[in-house]
Amino acid sequence: MTPEWHLPPEVVARRTSWRIVLAHTITFRQARQWVPALLAFGAFRGFTDGPWAVVVIVAVVTAVSLGSAVLAWSRFRYAPGPTAVVVTRGLLSRSVRTVPLDRVRGVEVEAPPLHRLLGLVRVRIDAAAGAVQSDEEELVVDGLPRAEADRLRTHLLARRGAEVPAPDSAGDPAEEEFARFDDRWLLYAPLVGSYLAVPLAAVGALFRLADELPRRWRPDLGRPDLTDTAVLAGALGAMAVLLVVGSIVGSALVNWRFRLVRRGGSLIAVRGLLNRRHTELEIDRIRGGTVTEGLGMRWVRAARATALVTGLGDAARRGQLLPLGPRTEAWAVTGRLVEDPGPLRPHPPAARRRRLVRAILPGAVVAVAGVVLTATLGLWWVLLVGLVLAALGVPVGLGRYASLGHATGPRTFSVRSGWLVREQAVLQRRAVVGWQVQQSFSQRRQGVATVVAAVGAGAGGYQALDIAAGDAVPFAVAASGRWAEALSGPG
């Protein structure tokens, strides 16, 4: 089995420079995975044989490192072909990774000190943004001479050169305001979980600090009489005020004078009281938006709007269109960027049944245990707790069902779910990079399915929970394109 078994004949598979073996031996790059085994062996044998044992161990470790570095080098190939780059690697198991050239987003050439000493560089190829999990190593060609690396880089990026649009040099384009934070919206803050957490954390830190202080520095508060209702009510009231004020102050620090403007092809957000933050994102890369409403925010019709942007790190914070404001404002700013697909369609009755069962089941289990305990030990309160939990499950289940909805429009589609935090995502059809239809055994019996749109932005996937099984493929086709018809018939 040759490593080139998959390659078209005109492409030459190349090795990296042999000198990289030195670097990898010194840094134990491949040998690192053997260290636990060596330690276990050492612990088993014991390290009591004196200095010779240490010498032997060092020799063995170095030999293992050298051996695995040589093996890794000899089994590594990269082939910059006319349409794709192919990287072959693997010590025992083999892996061949093919990246079409026009999917290459960027190429990074780096030279760590040891590499520089050997006259080598490392080339990182950025291709499957977001898809590569931490355990899957990204595409790295380690150990090329500088000139060869530059050739590879030019080859990989040759396709891109033509398409990169010329920068907007038409002077200073006019600004258009998309959103501006109204100071009154700060009053929403006490109803938002994340802002409430700010004063709670501050109070917690204060208590820890008080614990650390020497005794004589601590203020003597005596021992307040908590049985006195007036004292208790006062304490609770003070805490409530502290929470409210703290959350408003916290929100003001972050969101002060938030302003979102469009300048040319970019959206620019400025905000913050002490630390003025300035973030910029390209409108071309926006694939959709989410409008999020927590339980408390829904009482006062407040919401938060976030843009879903491809290739944006820390997108949740940097993609913010409106950090906090009235629902109508959140939808207005979202609507300027992503077309509204129309009203949401409710999900079938089976979905309501499923949400209710899910919400009531934990309470019901406790109640059944309570019945047993009441009969055997006379512990009636477990039964009571179970019944209360089950009863509370009814509004929760109904609320969860009420949140469900999906819609498709001419250019966009939308899905909504969540009760504690309700999130509606509006996505462009072109945002979809794949579909997943999931059906558990009970979903199969009830004739529903969950459809997940894979999207290269935001959370990576947005789901329509429990839609009628027969609607799954029509929804996917309407929300993306005719290619999704392959789900239902030969393509």
Partner 1 sequence: MHPDPARTPAWSPARNAIGLWAVEGVLGALVLAAVVVGLEVMLPLPTWLAVLLPVLVLVEAVVTIGFRPRLRYRVHRWEVTAEAVFTRTGWLSRTWTLVPISRIQTVDVTRGVVQQLFGLASVAVLTASSQGTVRIPHLDADIAARVADDLARRAELVRDEAT
- Residues contributing to the site for partner 1 (CB under 8 A): 1, 5-6, 8, 83-84, 90, 92-103, 127-133, 139, 287, 310-311, 430-431, 433-441, 444-447, 449, 451-452, 454-457, 460-461, 469-470, 472-473, 476, 481, 483-484, 486-491
Q: Which is nearer to partner 1, 311 or 399 (CB)?
A: 311
The nearest distance, CB 130 to partner 1, in angstroms, is: 5
Instruction: State the nearest-atom distance from the C-beta of 339 to partner 1, in Å.
Output: 16
Looking at the DSSP bridge assignments, the partners of residue 417 are: 423
Q: Which is nearer to partner 1, 316 or 392 (CB)?
A: 316
Pick between residue 116 and residue 444 the one whose CB is nearest to partner 1.
Answer: 444
Residue closer to partner 1 (CB basis): 311 or 335: 311
Tell me how far, at minimum, the Cβ of 488 lies from partner 1, in Å: 6
- 141: closest CA among 3, 4, 13, 7? 13
How many angstroms from the chain centroid is the CA of residue 65? 36
Is the CB of residue 248 less than 8 Å from the CB of residue 190?
yes
Give 196 or 467: the residue with its C-beta nearer to partner 1. 467
Q: Which is nearer to partner 1, 215 or 482 (CB)?
A: 482
Task: From residue 348, give the alpha-carbon distance in Å to each of 425, 467, 469, 477.
Answer: 20, 7, 10, 19
In contact, 78 and 13? CB cutoff 8 Å = yes
405-408 sheet: strands from edge to edge: 320-326, 302-309, 286-294, 421-428, 412-417, 405-408
CB of 324 to partner 1, least distance (A): 28
The least distance separating partner 1 from the CB of residue 126, rounded to whole angstroms, comes to: 10
Residue 304: CA atoms inside 13 Å, Cβ hemisphere, count? Answer: 27
What is the nearest approach in angstroms of partner 1 to the Cβ of residue 440?
4
The H or E element containing residue 465 is strand 461-468
- The nearest distance, CB 11 to partner 1, in angstroms, is 11
Q: How far is CA 229 from CA 32, 194, 220, 234, 301, in A?
A: 64, 31, 22, 8, 35
Judge contact between 141 and 88, C-beta under 8 A.
no
Specify the residue, 3 or 370, whose C-beta has the smaller distance to partner 1: 3
